[in-house]
Homo-oligomer: A and B are copies of this chain.
Amino acid sequence: MSTQDAPPLGTSVPAALTLLRKRGERVTRARRAVLEVLDSTTEHLNADEIARRAAAKAPGVHRATVYRALSTLGELEMVRHTHVGGSAAVYHLAVLDPELGAEANANAHAHVRCTSCGIVLDVPAETLRPLVGRLERDLDFHLDPAHAALLGTCAICRVTAPQG
């Protein structure tokens, strides 16, 4: 539907593990489980939910370990997270292309979240591009559009509870 297909679910883990090893990082049960969880969905999962699902795949994996794994994978730019309002950060797999490395973020997108119902909507990176350019020029500020969600009210909630 877009110019670039979303990566097929459940196919990125082997490449991710290879990349991990290539970077001198260890491949552990916990890290594999986290990657599998992230690779199995397109949802916006928070650390707690990732921990729950990871523990289902690899019993005993601890929440703290999931946080550490997400942190490590984040530093390696294999996983990205988004802060969404005041609540828990949500994580997703970066598009991993063994050839291109972590730059192949063709599915990079920003998020907006409805403060009324909590739904998170994806916004194509292209939509944010003008703003990115503007901030670059005006403030010399390099925006990372995917790192924080903007907030507002979705169509449904606007009808349900008009600008109360």
What's the minimum C-beta distance from A125 to chain B, rounded to whole angstroms? 13
What's the minimum C-beta distance from A102 to chain B, rounded to whole angstroms? 10
Cβ of A135 < 8 Å from any Cβ of B? yes
B-side contacts of A123, CB under 8 Å = 135, 139
The size of the chain A interface, using a CB distance under 8 A, is 35
A128 with B127: CB separation less than 8 A: no
Cβ of A53 < 8 Å from any Cβ of B? no
What's the minimum C-beta distance from A122 to chain B, rounded to whole angstroms? 9
Q: Which of B86, B115, B131, B139 contacts A131 (CB 8 A)?
A: B131
User: Whole-angstrom distance between the alpha carbons of A148 and B141 in the complex?
Assistant: 17
B-side contacts of A37, CB under 8 Å = none
Q: Which of B89, B121, B141, B164 contacts A152 (CB 8 A)?
A: B141
B-side contacts of A149, CB under 8 Å = 148
Encoded as 1 (CB less than 8 Å from any B CB) or 0, chain A from 93 to 124 comes to: 00000000000000000001011000001010
User: Whole-angstrom distance between the alpha carbons of A153 and B145 in the complex?
Assistant: 11
User: Whole-angstrom distance between the alpha carbons of A147 and B154 in the complex?
Assistant: 14
Q: List 10 A-B contacts (CB under 8 A).
A: A86-B89, A112-B141, A114-B141, A127-B138, A135-B152, A144-B151, A144-B153, A147-B150, A147-B152, A148-B149
Q: In the complex, given contacts A85-B147, A114-B141, A131-B131, what are 8 additional A-B residue pairs having Cβ atoms less than 8 angstroms apart?
A: A83-B86, A86-B89, A112-B143, A115-B147, A123-B135, A130-B130, A142-B154, A144-B151
